Amino acid sequence: MTSGPPTLVYDGDCGICDASVRLLRRARCDATMVTSRTWVLDHPEHAEAATTSVLLVADDGTVLEGEVAVAAVLRRCRRPLPWLGAALGLPLVRVAAHHVYRLVADHRTRLSALVGLRACAVPDGTGP
């Protein structure tokens, strides 16, 4: 990936992912990251990883994944979200966040449907 502004890479087919990004836009998070949907298929070098976790590709090419990427994005938002992003980096919170993230990611199809969002094409247990 070339140098440029940070890019949020997520599965645009996932109802939970899509709703989360809409919330980030409303929270006025870093506009360079979340102004437009970034589809997995647009990033073939990250496509496989992005079907299991949200990714944040930094301007230097560093890739953050899952709850670590979420925390980094939250730290770039308006108040009070940066506090939440910082809290997700605390040792015990980070461990809990990892397990919660994986639980949601592994069951995203059913959870999306349960809360009335578009269900994902990726079957449960294989995606964010």
Question: In the chain, what percentage of residues exceed pLDDT 70?
Answer: 71
- How far CA 27 is from CA of 12, 77, 108, in Å, comes to 19, 7, 23
- How far CA 25 is from CA of 31, 76, 104, in Å, comes to 8, 11, 21
Contact 64, 76 (CB under 8 A): no
Question: By C-alpha distance, which of 124, 125, 120 is closest to 11?
Answer: 120
The domain spans of the chain are 7-114
Specify the higher pLDDT residue, 55 or 47. 55
Chain position carrying tokens 């449960």: 124
Q: Is the pLDDT of residue 103 over 90?
A: yes
In terms of pTM, does the model score above 0.85? no
Q: Is the pLDDT of residue 3 over 70?
A: no
Where residue 59 falls among pLDDT bands split at 50, 70, 90? Answer: confident
